[in-house]
Amino acid sequence: MSVSTAAFARTVCAPLPVLGRDVTVPLVTGGEVGYAALDYAASAPALQRVWDDVAAYAPYYGSVHRGAGYLSQLSTELFENARKTVAEFLDCRPDDELIFTRSTTDSLNLLARALPADCQVFVFETEHHASLLPWQDARVSYLDAPRTPRQAVATLERALADRDPHGPALVCVTGASNVTGELWPVRELAAAAHAHGARIVLDAAQLAPHHPVSVRDLDVDWVAFSGHKLYAPFGSGVLAGRADWLRAAEPYLAGGGASRKVTRREDGSVAVEWHENAARHEAGSPNVIGAYSIASACKALTEVGWDALVAREQHLIAGVRAGLAEIPEVRVLSLFGDDAPRVGVISFVVEGWNSSHFAAALSAEYGIGVRDGLFCAHPLVRTLLGADPQAQGECGAPEAAPGEKALNAIRVSFGAGTPDEHVERFVNAVRELVADGAKWSYRTEEGRCVPAV
């Protein structure tokens, strides 16, 4: 039985062209099929536009900021124009700083290094590890998982009311969960933080590829995201926001580019005068292709228009959720409930299946790529799964320690480049696996579930 075509009857707009849309993969049962990439929350495919822009620039690649030659000057202009483009994409304030990093994780670790002395940090246990873990050298308070957006705001307000009102404080919050896809009340959390004299940083890794992000409208102090989730997988990320803490901090990396002047003292030591702008935290030769690719993706998404992109994604979300709801053995994970607004990220478990086994069968027998495990958000997934039993099946969870109960889930995620056929095939595959079981045998090899040969 196939998923009801009514769920996918209306295509709001065509998917954006992405690399890999014509890739075929072998099936363990024989033959090949077009690969359905449904792991966008980990890394989205590159937009064709991004790839074309990078390919056109590549012959002109040169050193940045420190070269007198034409290609160096061209690359420097390209790099700095990319900074302006991304700042416009984020609707930054005129005096905000925008620093190119390696990823969201790198951005938040950079900010953690820039915290003023004795700064208190407040972070929900529901965060991705990139925003949960960098603050361990600060005075950090981990807040329990809320069950409604209103409870999230109330929990933060209580925690901030009890803090030392005289010292600096920072709140770190996600914009969209990488596990449930649910949108968080960022604007309300920012208002609560500022009302109590705290600042707030937004982890927009899962939000920026799906919704417009305005620093000014959300009233956040910083925002961080990764290029590889924004259809620009060339190893670059962004931290943008208030300049004062960043300029007062020691450089994130010591080296060329961050230093404005270096001299020897009479005692033989070295004296360094550091830059005060973004260069202070961009030591070394910058990833100009990564920065340019992010800017290209920002332009592409803006030109298509967020209204069309969001409408189409909501169309896909509705189809997937409706299809999964017809399968009694499937339980979709959620913090805020079925009516919560969300992006194209859905995690679930299947009764009688270990999630790693199920994900392996989707890949090997249907050519569908999803994610299984705890999604680098271990406290959140454990909270959502609770004590629900899961059958081991033929494979264990890759993140379960020896003797530990195998708690893991399956995550399907999609975005602007996902064709309707991929999500239709996914729902039909889930239905068939639940009804008929896997057609192949599987075993655990080096912590992963793989087809037995």
Measured in residues, the chain has a length of 453
Q: Structure tokens of 427?
A: 């729902």
Q: HSE (CB half, 13 Å, CA atoms) of 432?
A: 15
Q: Which candidate in 92, 376, 395, 449 is catalytic?
A: 376
DSSP state of 234: S
Q: 254 — phi, psi (to 5°)?
A: -90, 130
Strands 32-34 and 199-203: unpaired
Decide if 380 contacts 179 (C-beta within 8 A). Answer: yes
Q: Give the strand order in the sheet containing 371-373.
A: 330-332, 345-350, 409-413, 371-373
CA 51 to chain centre: 20
Decide if 418 contacts 45 (C-beta within 8 A). Answer: no
Decide if 422 contacts 354 (C-beta within 8 A). Answer: no
* Residue in the structure block whose two tokens are 């390919």: 55
For 328, the 3-state DSSP assignment is coil
Helix (H) or strand (E) holding 279: none
CA 314 to chain centre: 18
Answer yes or no: 376 catalytic. Answer: yes
Q: Can you list the positions of beta strands (E) in 229-310? A: 237-241, 259-264, 270-274
Q: Can you list the positions of beta strands (E) in 326-418? A: 330-332, 345-350, 368-369, 371-373, 409-413
Q: Can you list the positions of beta strands (E) in 308-370? A: 330-332, 345-350, 368-369
118: left (phi over 0), alpha (psi -120 to 50) or beta: left
User: Using CA atoms, how far apart are residues 301 and 309, in angstroms rounded to an integer?
Assistant: 8
First to last CA, the chain: 29
Which residues are annotated as catalytic? 376
